[in-house]
Amino acid sequence: MRKGSYQTHNSDDLTVLQMRPASQVMQLERLGSFHQSRLSFMRTLVRRMVAENWQISSSVFDLDEHGYGTVVYQVEAKYGTFSYVLFSHHLDPENRNDRVIADQWDLTMALCEGTVDTEQLDFLRNNVPKQEAGRVDSRVLVLSRANRSARTFEYVVNELAHGHQPNVDLIAEVGYLYRTTAAYGSGKLGMADWEKVWTKHRDFARPFAAEMFTCYMLRHFSMQQADYLASQRAPKSAVVLHEDIKRYIGIGNSTGLGMAPFLINHPLLINQWIEMRETALATVVDASAAGVDEATLARLDTATQRVIQHLSEIVTADERQSNANVLLREELQLLHLWLQEQGAVLASSHHVWASLIQYAEQHWCIETQEVINTLLIELYPALVDGLEEHMWVDESHEVTPEMEVAELLEVIEDKYDWALAIDFSKCESMGAFWYRSEEKMEPRLGQTNIDMGIEKEMPLGIGRRVRECYDRIYDYNQDRPKQNVAHFIMHNPTYSGIVARIQTMAQSRYGDIRENLVHTDVMPIHLLRCKLSFFGVSKFDPRSRLWVRNTMFQGAPLISDFGKLLSDDWQFPVKPALKSG
């Protein structure tokens, strides 16, 4: 197999794909320009729920006239029964805080296996509202919480109570009725381990599927609660939310630095996600080798125009993102014109997508390039959707002790050339450090020589650790040539962790994220956006380089759509064409 090529995951199909190189894909700025794709976890979850016609109904709907109380949804998925338990609380507006350090919320929720009896419900009622301060058990898969939007929730309820539909422009500006501020799974706080979910609950046996479902159910509840409150306030005049508006309402999300260490501490998983996305891209590029039919070109054009409209409807105060969105729209407009003018010619051309990607790389910004890649993947569901079954990987870093030290040096020079290229003698190259705060162990970014805590630094500066390791190995190899890695570690045991990482990641296609994460000007927001794109969020609204607001499930089908034929075409949602109430 030649370098830069890849065989598809299907062993019967020996097509050799042209994969983008790690040196291009693993640049942090590019990862931070990724958008939702068909392989994103929200998309795959929704496809599964709709196709399998999951049955979801409320077995308990015990809310008072203010919307406070308890709701239990029973979920009949394809392989099992689950309960989504939700507690709605009164919360003074001054106590509403989206930060991880908050200790009160409007809503707290738990996704549980099986049905929930009275005893378990009491147990959950005593613990779920406390979130991190409580304890649950292994019957719980996910714990989450949410806060109301001060701008939309009361407004929507009032409009509905008065018999009007809410103004879609305001919905577009905000995008949701509730914001989730955390969704914990994977065994935290006594919950079921991922291993249990993976082996026992096939319905959620994909990364973050249970967490995404919890957010999807929050979206469902948010609209059901709005309808309920409107009818409580004005039983005679109230109307229910229009279904098109409901589909356009998502769930708000704020993501901060807490997500960043995950990408560094799970490099094999991130590599797997990226490799599947890149395989999807390479597959669709390959599919255009013999030409593309006009219908496919027209679909790309339609999707492009929708992205342009979607971008025009995003409200962000972040200058960098705002400028990026403007540039993105301008460049996508050029793509639209190109498709309009060249469509017939393109249909008879070979390798159209490869040519488009090459043109975009030469002329347009990274964000435009990655939007185009996402749109191309969107065109070929039959070719790429199967990759969603390959988004998980066993994560174990292992030393290869028999490798000669000289070979390890070569591996580092080959796979970590980006790390060796960083000049760590410059102050700015080590101008930042990551640490855990005593406030809920929240990860934070400090400034070297200014902030305290560097002695407790988290080892996230992979580039710097590789550089230090390389220098140590180099000296060792000079002193003791022809030794193996086992001997190097015997004499330098503190390097065993980074050696295991280097040797493990060297066997992966994409390897580590190529960025000095302890540089003064590091942009953690790119890390957050990368992970969020795999979750499937939209409407990125950075609040600083450290955290970003976004919207989940906006445009997604409703529970009432389950079982219907779905085109699964809800990315880059746009305002529904309705008259305001």
Partner 1 sequence: MKVSKNELTASLKKAFEALGFQPGDYYDAADMVVWLETHGFDGFDRLLAALAYLNTTAPIHADLVQEDAHNSVLDGRGTSVLLCGSEAVDLIRSQVIQGSSAGLEIINCYNRTFIIERLVKAARRNFAFIAYWRQLDYCVKVSITAVSELPEYQTFKMIDVFDRQSLRIFCGPDLEAIEKQYGEQLEFGTLVENYPKAKMADCYRNSVEQGIEIDQALWKTLDDLVAKILVESTADSRAGAGD
Residues in touch with partner 1 (CB under 8 A): 99, 135, 137-138, 186-196, 199-200, 256-257, 396-399, 401-402, 435-439, 441-447, 451-453, 456, 459, 465, 484-487, 489-491, 493-500, 543-544, 546-547
Least Å distance between CB 473 and partner 1? 15
Instruction: Determine whether 149 is exposed, middle or buried from the number of CB atoms within 10 Å of its CB (0-12, 13-18, 19+).
Output: buried
Residue with Cβ nearer partner 1 (257 or 375):
257
Spatial CB neighbours of 403, under 8 Å, sequence gap ≥ 6: 411, 484, 485, 503
Contact between residue 462 and residue 266 where contact means Cβ atoms under 8 Å apart: no
Q: Are 273 and 391 contacting, i.e. CB atoms less than 8 angstroms apart? A: yes
- Alpha-helical runs (H) found in 175-266: 194-200, 209-233, 243-248, 260-265
Task: Compare residues 63 and 411 and give the one whose CB is closer to partner 1.
Answer: 411
Residues 6 or more apart from 364 whose CB is under 8 A from it? 331, 334
Q: For the chain, report the end-to-end CA distance as a whole number of angstroms.
A: 61
Reported as type and span, the H/E element at residue 447 is strand 443-447
Q: Is the Cβ of residue 78 or residue 456 nearer to partner 1 in the bound state?
A: 456
User: Are residues 546 and 54 in contact, defined by beta-carbon separation less than 8 angstroms?
Assistant: no
Minimum CB distance to partner 1, residue 75 (Å):
20
CB-wise, 172 or 500, nearer to partner 1? 500
Other beta carbons within 10 angstroms of residue 248's beta carbon come to 23
Amino acid, res. 184 = Y
CA distances from 456 to 21, 436, 516 (A): 35, 8, 19
Minimum Å gap between C-beta 523 and partner 1 is 13
Q: How far is the CB of 505 from partner 1 (least distance, A)?
A: 14
Q: Give min distance, CB of 132 to partner 1, in A.
A: 12
Residue 111 or 346 having the CB closest to partner 1: 111
CB of 187 to partner 1, least distance (A): 3
- Two structure tokens written together for 427: 């102050």
Dihedral (CA of 13, 278, 569, 360) sign: negative
Please, is 293 exposed, middle or buried when counting C-beta atoms within 10 Å of its C-beta (0-12, 13-18, 19+)?
A: exposed
Report how far residue 484's alpha carbon sits from residue 402's, in angstroms, rounded to the nearest whole number: 6
Q: How far is the CB of 180 from partner 1 (least distance, A)?
A: 17
Give the nearer residue to partner 1 in terms of CB position, either 289 or 490: 490
Q: Which is nearer to partner 1, 84 or 434 (CB)?
A: 434
Closer Cβ to partner 1, 434 or 572, answer by number: 434
Least distance in Å: CB of 524 to partner 1?
9
Cα–Cα distances (Å) from 130 to 87, 134, 135, in that order, read 11, 5, 8
Rank residues 160 and 445 by Cβ distance to partner 1 and give the closer one. Answer: 445
Give the nearest distance from C-beta 494 to partner 1 in angstroms: 4
What's the min distance (Å) between Cβ of 442 and partner 1? 6
* Nearer to partner 1 (CB atom), residue 372 or residue 469: 469
